[in-house]
């Protein structure tokens, strides 16, 4: 889908890719916003990551979510969901766009229609209209489209998801998918990151599995995310130091940090268990959906051995 040169790290980025220069980039900034010396910060909210659920499972469990929690969803799930089912969630809703891996799998296997049908029955016209709007957004780059340039296709998918979003979620935070974020960081695609940030709007942010590299790139590029969700190993000293440095940096002064701990065992996915393991800068915890947690508990290794 892209030329080899597009996915080759620049020669002078070895330190950035290894993470060795991340802290220095943050520490060298001239503007700082001091964190309070005492206090534990705002109460930690909980969101459930529903993005990996298929349509039928999503439809079944959404009404039963704890109203005190929130949900992280895809754009097509947002179309499927009744507005009242999302409005009742006190923890709010975040949308990750595009649904990159799912879309890539469907498109690469000739299932474009299945992709358009993801938003649910009666939504095909809406999906087609979103597709037209996405295509028009890059119509000035016909050659890039013709050769299926990776970054142009990624932008089309992002535009498609943003066009798909219902009006009642116009103010919901929107995060760039982790694969696209991390590709942009690793291959120094500042142009794509800036364009994506512009498309995501004022509530835009990034999801990343490489928070140190993300912090370095965002700080150097002057891109200030409203939200930053990241894979977070609890109790890791380097992660705690990184979050402290990020919170002190001007570019992240207003950033909401979301710690993805959905890969932990279900017994650890609780605010109480993680209270002492995560730094105070983390404002929101991202847990696995209840159905996944319940299945994992039912078939845990301990239960199997005990039987």
Q: Residue 70 class from Cβ within 10 Å (0-12 exposed, 13-18 middle, 19+ buried)?
A: buried
Has residue 6 got a pLDDT over 90?
Answer: no
pLDDT tens for each residue of 62-110: 999 999 999 999 999 999 999 999 999 999 999 999 999 999 999 999 9
pLDDT band at 43 (very low <50, low <70, confident <90, very high): low
Q: Hey, how many other C-beta atoms are within 10 angstroms of the C-beta on 296?
A: 15
Is residue 23 within 8 Å of residue 245, measured between CB atoms?
yes
pLDDT band at 237 (very low <50, low <70, confident <90, very high): confident
Quote the pLDDT of residue 266. Answer: 80
Rounded-to-integer distance, Cα 60 and Cα 224, Å: 36
Rounded-to-integer distance, Cα 93 and Cα 280, Å: 22
* Lowest mean pLDDT, pick from 89-98, 110-119, 179-188, 292-301: 292-301
Mean local confidence (pLDDT), 43-61: 91
pLDDT tens for each residue of 143-161: 988 888 999 999 999 999 9
For 240, the 3-state DSSP assignment is helix
In the block, which residue shows the tokens 């002078």? Answer: 12
Share of the chain above pLDDT 70, in %: 80
Is residue 287 within 8 Å of residue 48, measured between CB atoms?
yes
* Lowest mean pLDDT, pick from 31-35, 209-213, 222-226, 303-307: 31-35
Has residue 1 got a pLDDT over 50?
Answer: no
Quote the pLDDT of residue 220. Answer: 94
Tell me, what DSSP letter sits at residue 303?
Answer: H
Most confident of 35-44, 49-58, 229-238: 49-58
The DSSP-derived string for 77-118 is: HHHHS-HHHHHT-TT-EEEEE--HHHHHHHHHTT-HHHHHTT
Domain locations in the chain? 13-42+173-306
For 288, the 3-state DSSP assignment is coil
Nearest to 59 by CA among 122, 120, 133, 137: 120
Tokens of 307: 């039987």
φ/ψ (deg, to 5) at 101: -65, -40
* Lowest mean pLDDT, pick from 9-13, 213-217, 234-238: 9-13
Rounded-to-integer distance, Cα 262 and Cα 284, Å: 12
Residue 68 CB contacts under 8 Å (≥ 6 apart), including other chains: 46, 90, 91
Has residue 303 got a pLDDT over 90?
Answer: no
Per the prediction, the chain carries an average pLDDT of 82
Nearest to 124 by CA among 164, 93, 159, 154: 164
Quote the pLDDT of residue 15. Answer: 40
Quote the pLDDT of residue 200. Answer: 96
Quote the pLDDT of residue 111. Answer: 96
Mean local confidence (pLDDT), 5-18: 41
pLDDT tens for each residue of 184-195: 999 999 999 999
CA angle 190, 212, 244 (to 5 degrees): 120
CA 13 to chain centre: 24
Tokens of 47: 């969101």
Rounded-to-integer distance, Cα 161 and Cα 171, Å: 15
């Amino acid at each position: 889908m892209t030329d080899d040169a597009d996915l080759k790290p620049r020669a002078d980025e070895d330190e950035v890719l290894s993470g060795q220069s991340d802290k220095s980039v943050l520490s060298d900034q001239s503007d700082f916003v001091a964190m309070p010396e005492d206090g534990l910060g705002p109460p930690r909210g909980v969101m459930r990551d529903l993005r990996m659920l298929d349509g039928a499972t999503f439809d079944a469990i959404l009404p039963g979510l704890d109203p005190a929690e929130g949900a992280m969803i895809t754009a097509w799930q947002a179309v499927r969901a009744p507005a009242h089912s999302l409005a009742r969630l006190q923890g709010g809703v975040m949308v990750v766009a595009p649904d990159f891996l799912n879309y890539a799998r469907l498109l690469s296997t000739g299932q474009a229609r299945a992709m358009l049908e993801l938003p649910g029955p009666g939504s095909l016209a809406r999906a087609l209209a979103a597709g037209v709007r996405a295509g028009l957004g890059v119509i000035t780059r016909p050659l890039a489209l013709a050769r299926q340039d990776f970054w142009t296709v990624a932008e089309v998918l992002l535009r498609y998801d943003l066009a798909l979003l219902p009006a009642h979620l116009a103010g919901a935070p929107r995060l760039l998918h982790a694969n696209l974020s991390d590709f942009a960081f690793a291959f120094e695609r500042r142009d794509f990151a800036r364009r994506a940030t512009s498309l995501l709007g004022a509530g835009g942010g990034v999801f990343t599995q490489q928070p140190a590299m993300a912090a370095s790139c965002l700080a150097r590029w002057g891109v200030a995310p409203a939200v930053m969700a990241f894979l977070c190993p609890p109790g890791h000293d380097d992660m705690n130091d990184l979050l402290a440095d990020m919170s002190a940096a001007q570019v992240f002064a207003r950033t909401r940090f979301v710690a993805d701990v959905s890969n932990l065992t279900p017994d650890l996915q609780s605010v109480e268990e993680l209270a002492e393991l995560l730094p105070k800068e983390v404002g929101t915890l991202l847990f696995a959906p209840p159905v996944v947690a319940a299945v994992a508990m039912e078939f845990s290794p301990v239960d199997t051995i005990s039987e």
